Structure 1
Amino acid sequence: MQVKVEEVTVRRALLAERISYSRDEKSESIEAQDARMKARAAEEAVRVVGVTADVSVSGDVDMFDRPALGEWLAVDKRELWDELWVTNQDRLSRSEPHFMSFVFKMLEWNKEIHVLDDPAFTEQMKTPEGRAILHVKSLGPHKELERIKERIQDSHDRRRFSNRWPGGIPTFGYRIVYRYIDGKRCAYIELDEEMLVWLHRIRRWLIEGDALSGVATRLIEAVVLTARDRARVARGKKTKSRAKLRKDHDESREMWSNGSVKALMTNEALLGYKKYRGKVLRDDAGDPVRIADPAFTPEEWETLQAAIKARSVTTARRVNMTSPAYGVAICSDCRSNGNHKISRGHANGLEYRYYVCGNWPNSRRCKGISCRAEIVEESMEILFLQRHGAERVTKRVWVPGSDSTRELEQVEAKIRRLMRQDEEGDWEDDRAEYRQRMNRLRERRAELRILPVVKSGWVEVDQGMTYAELWATLDLEGRRKRLLESGFRMMIGRGTAWPEKVPLERAMVIQGETVTAKPAPAALTE
């Protein structure tokens, strides 16, 4: 007699746990979800093949995008389980579109969803009528999700115009401090004395004429950490490089650059202003929202911006090796900067220096001119001193002005805004306050309109020497900067060099291996 043995199919379950940790969401903990589902699985003799715990993941995130659950929905792991378990529908999703899309996807895969708090869920998902019921059930969590979003957004909107720090890394020069307000721990920012010293050093360097690249190099050599690296160190983490490191700096940290120095020193957050989406946040009256003390006084800020703007005028910056005429020597064909090149003779091993067009062979307008470096540099020195040698050396000094134009524009904008609010009926219940504000603004506008406007700007202050006397004290880079500042340019051709803006027939054209000084043309000495 044969005994028929029935095959028993083992149910394979994947446990999906999620919690968003939202203050507005009353959720059972991950531990509680785990304990409930494992206890039920033991009762029903279900084999648990995996547990996914998505912590700090919103119910609005698609199931396929969740860090833990998403891995088990991929093809290679999808065949390892037959049932997906959750404690309640909210743990699966709070989004109605995501929820219904996932239900249909599970039917396509021939999988089941089990909800501990809703035993009828599994059978309902298998029929059109049941899925209609599930759709209605999904609307409740979806509406609750929208209410949570609205409450969070309202909270952000209320705090946006306060003097509290909204979060993230403050700009270099400031640090986060915490204070207890009404029993709650609130974040603020304040000036950091150590970083403030560096900010004023950077300002002094820029005012004195240092290039942005030079300032960046100084900061790197002094091992001054960026704001991001400082934040990492404060959290007990290591510094981190976001770019390719320089050969002479093997530390894993962020490197200062021209762009980062300029971005920092032009950031209005250094005035203590609060920023939102990259712009200074302004209140209803149009005034900037200030959340900390400024790093610079108005005069210091104005001179700093003027110095940075002045640095942007001259784009020629020496790169790689020392080139006394970089930015001064210009290709006569296409007006590109002349690059300094060195070649070595095969027979004698001697070095020969040239200035060649920096844009050749990329430019079709240029035929690849070159000129011996000695010709360019020696003629450049002679011609410059002939033109400027007897002139007095001056230093640019910033003189702050008195201009109320900007404040006048802000006051007029406030008046227009107040009038618009009045037209919309916002001041119907408080006419006295409206008239009081309007009168103050109109009085201030009248005061500003009669104030004289004195333009701020740079003035030249005599330094007690001539350019000829100064020239002897300068190194190669100092002479190059002086030439750039004066606007002096040398045009280079094939073995020739002449000053810019001087007709060729009147210019001092220098050819061959030596330089012979000739009387300067009138155009050079006028």
Structure 2
Amino acid sequence: MGDAPTGLRVLGRLRLSRSTDESTSIERQRETIQRWADAQGHRIVGWAEDVDVSGAVDPFDTPQLGQWLTPDRAAEWDTLAAWKLDRLGRNAIQLNRLFGWCNEHGKTLVSCSESIDLSSWAGRMLAGVIAGLAEGELEAIRERSRSSRAKLRESARWAGGKPPFGYRATPREGGGWTLERDPLAVPLVRRIVDDVLNGKPLNRVATELNTEGYRTPRDYHVTVKAGAPSVQLEDREERTSRWQASTLRNLLQNPALRGHVHHKGQTVRDDEGVPLVLAEPLVDSEEWDALQAILEGNRGARKHHKRPDAAPLAGVISCIWCGENLHHNQMTVKGNRYRYYRCPNHREHGAEGASMVPAAEVEELLESEFLEQAGDLPITERVWVPGDARDQELRDAVAALDELTRLVGTVASATARERLTGQISAVDRRILELESQPVREAHWEYREVGGTYRDAWESADTEGRRSLLLRAGITLRVGVQGRRGGHSAGVWNWELNVPEAVADALAR
């Protein structure tokens, strides 16, 4: 240890990359610095303690030490003492900047375990050598980490860290880790997926989850690590974070929902362009496509989904002039409550096109005409028939081609471009092969499901009746000419649209 003036004011530097690292614990560092200060007759005037802070962070940017490296606080201490030099940083350039700052402000810097004291020329020389070695060690750690994670991704093994919500890490036969469905979280993920597919807005889903006390993915992960897994808050437990629309969007756009290996938000593929699968998927391909279309604002993807608390004829009644769905509205005038349906384009229909259609009257009209024409017919519902496996495989291959093509412009190295080109060629060959084979595409079919429309109508509530009409594909286009204000006077124009399958039954 070099000679240093006695009676100096010492600022102790404590840093830890991970709070679980026992070999370099905060207490061990504190004891070493305190013993050194006592032996030299110095006085500790403060501690700059940073936990969970990487050695790659510039000392001037660390939360605690950075506050002491300012002109305002420079007069409060004389010597900066650390357990080892790497507690100050692992970057030679950053450490040299710190050395220069100390020299400019008349400060000394001491490494208690390495006998380095910047007050001597030998200490300064040794500090520069060790700083260079520390930087090399940090870069080696980074490279080993990158290589290890890349290898794990290629072998479809879990690289560690926080599992995607809906999964949990489990030991893998032969060593390492993999992911499996989390029986506690999966039901919540399915609820969220179903709510969004059924047309419920993200903000509403988030509000309901908060009201019912469901943990966010972040809080749930902390709970699992603590050994008391629960998808809902315990009695009198305070919430530390809340569900937001952005939380749901991140969850539903994560490729992990499909069980795919992913890196920086992108699906990892093999040399043939096929996604690497790490775990059993939480959604199938059709659900994934529908979710992405909805989240991207494709309203067409929502048309066959009902909305919660919908009006009696929501999705069934439309404007006879423009075909837009009519919106259900309510208003109160002089204490009287009125319900009506209004076309969103009502201002474009001119004076003859009524802006409002009385709700009760049009609901009664539809019920009367529907039961008169189809009440005694067997119920015929529109059923979605998925395509065969080849159809789904073709759609997945086209999606893979789109994704790989977008990545071409983002890579810089020749190796990455060569790998992408090989994957694109493999996917192209698979598409060509699939396109040459007969494919049964996904489509809607009408099937008789038993019972009559009248029986089903009379036994159903309001939402059940609306659902019956939607499943049958029956709609009503309506408008009133010459109507003014809230009065029902005017000429009604309407047209009941009956699907061909139901119309054929009417003709028999």
What TM-score do the two structures reach when normalised by structure 1?
0.64
Tell me the secondary structure at the aligned position of residue 122 of structure 1.
coil
Name the residue aligned to 1:313: 302
Q: Following the alignment from structure 2 to structure 1, what is the Cα–Cα distance between the partners of residues 382 and 447?
A: 5
State which of 108, 112, 117 in structure 2 corresponds to 1:112.
Answer: 108
How many residues matched? 461
1:353 aligns with 2:339: yes
Decide whether aligned partners of structure 1 residues 460 and 201 sit closer, same or farther in structure 2, where only a CA change above 3 A counts: farther
Name the residue aligned to 1:281: 268
Unaligned residue ranges in structure 1 (runs of 5+) = 1-7, 243-248, 414-419, 425-439, 498-510
Q: Following the alignment from structure 2 to structure 1, what is the Cα–Cα distance between the partners of residues 303 and 209?
A: 22
Shift of 1:78: 4.2
Q: Which amino acid aligns with 2:441?
A: K
1:34 aligns with 2:30: yes
State which of 35, 48, 59 in structure 1 corresponds to 2:44.
Answer: 48
1:338 aligns with 2:327: yes
Shift of 1:14: 0.2
Pairs within 5 Å for 1:152-191: 152-178=145-171, 186-191=176-181
CA shift digits 1:139-197 (9 cap, x unpaired): 33323322222122222222222343223443454322235856xxx432223456667
Shift of 1:515: 9.5
Q: Check the 8 A contact 2:354/2:479 in 1, yes or no.
A: no
Q: Following the alignment from structure 2 to structure 1, what is the Cα–Cα distance between the partners of residues 319 and 140?
A: 65
Decide whether aligned partners of structure 1 residues 234 and 513 sit closer, same or farther in structure 2, where only a CA change above 3 A counts: same
Shift of 1:62: 1.3
Q: Which amino acid aligns with 2:221?
A: A
Name the residue aligned to 1:324: 312
- The worse-fitting range, judged by mean Cα deviation, of 215-224 and 116-125 is 215-224
Name the residue aligned to 1:93: 89
Decide whether aligned partners of structure 1 residues 102 and 447 sit closer, same or farther in structure 2, where only a CA change above 3 A counts: closer
Pairs within 5 Å for 1:511-522: 512-513=487-488
Decide whether aligned partners of structure 1 residues 138 and 489 sit closer, same or farther in structure 2, where only a CA change above 3 A counts: farther
What TM-score do the two structures reach when normalised by structure 2?
0.66
Q: Check the 8 A contact 1:401/1:457 in 2, yes or no.
A: no
1:13 aligns with 2:30: no
Q: Following the alignment from structure 1 to structure 2, what is the Cα–Cα distance between the partners of residues 141 and 175?
A: 36
Q: Check the 8 A contact 1:15/1:37 in 2, yes or no.
A: yes
Name the residue aligned to 1:60: 56
Tell me the secondary structure at the aligned position of residue 119 of structure 2.
helix
Q: Following the alignment from structure 1 to structure 2, what is the Cα–Cα distance between the partners of residues 303 and 409?
A: 14
Q: Which amino acid aligns with 2:225?
A: R
1:476 aligns with 2:462: yes
Tell me the secondary structure at the aligned position of residue 57 of structure 2.
coil
Give the greater-gyration-radius structure (CA): 1
CA shift digits 1:63-101 (9 cap, x unpaired): 133233234335665442222122443322211232233
Decide whether aligned partners of structure 1 residues 259 and 375 sit closer, same or farther in structure 2, where only a CA change above 3 A counts: farther
Name the residue aligned to 2:133: 140
Tell me the secondary structure at the aligned position of residue 150 of structure 1.
helix
Shift of 1:10: 4.7
State which of 374, 382, 389 in structure 1 corresponds to 2:360.
Answer: 374
Decide whether aligned partners of structure 1 residues 453 and 401 sit closer, same or farther in structure 2, where only a CA change above 3 A counts: same
Shift of 1:55: 3.6
Shift of 1:306: 7.7
Q: Check the 8 A contact 1:175/1:192 in 2, yes or no.
A: yes
**RMSD (CA atoms):** 5.9
CA shift digits 1:45-66 (9 cap, x unpaired): 2111012333443221111332
Work out the percentage of aligned pairs sharing the same amino acid.
Answer: 27
Q: Which amino acid aligns with 1:190?
A: E
Q: Check the 8 A contact 1:241/1:252 in 2, yes or no.
A: no
Name the residue aligned to 1:394: 381
Q: Following the alignment from structure 1 to structure 2, what is the Cα–Cα distance between the partners of residues 78 and 359?
A: 69
Q: Following the alignment from structure 1 to structure 2, what is the Cα–Cα distance between the partners of residues 69 and 10?
A: 22
Q: Following the alignment from structure 1 to structure 2, what is the Cα–Cα distance between the partners of residues 356 and 449?
A: 46
Name the residue aligned to 1:429: none
Pairs within 5 Å for 1:476-515: 476-481=462-467, 486=474, 488-491=476-479, 495=483, 512-513=487-488
Shift of 1:516: 9.5
Q: Which amino acid aligns with 1:174?
A: Y
Decide whether aligned partners of structure 1 residues 472 and 322 sit closer, same or farther in structure 2, where only a CA change above 3 A counts: same
Decide whether aligned partners of structure 1 residues 513 and 405 sit closer, same or farther in structure 2, where only a CA change above 3 A counts: closer
Decide whether aligned partners of structure 1 residues 55 and 285 sit closer, same or farther in structure 2, where only a CA change above 3 A counts: same
Decide whether aligned partners of structure 1 residues 375 and 482 sit closer, same or farther in structure 2, where only a CA change above 3 A counts: same
Decide whether aligned partners of structure 1 residues 13 and 476 sit closer, same or farther in structure 2, where only a CA change above 3 A counts: same
Q: Check the 8 A contact 2:6/2:40 in 1, yes or no.
A: no
Tell me the secondary structure at the aligned position of residue 341 of structure 1.
strand
Decide whether aligned partners of structure 1 residues 467 and 334 sit closer, same or farther in structure 2, where only a CA change above 3 A counts: closer
State which of 127, 130, 142 in structure 2 corresponds to 1:149.
Answer: 142
State which of 446, 452, 456 in structure 2 corresponds to 1:460.
Answer: 446
Q: Following the alignment from structure 2 to structure 1, what is the Cα–Cα distance between the partners of residues 222 and 157?
A: 22
Decide whether aligned partners of structure 1 residues 492 and 224 sit closer, same or farther in structure 2, where only a CA change above 3 A counts: farther
Tell me the secondary structure at the aligned position of residue 339 of structure 2.
strand
Decide whether aligned partners of structure 1 residues 312 and 524 sit closer, same or farther in structure 2, where only a CA change above 3 A counts: closer
State which of 221, 234, 237 in structure 1 corresponds to 2:224.
Answer: 234
Shift of 1:396: 0.6
Name the residue aligned to 1:503: none
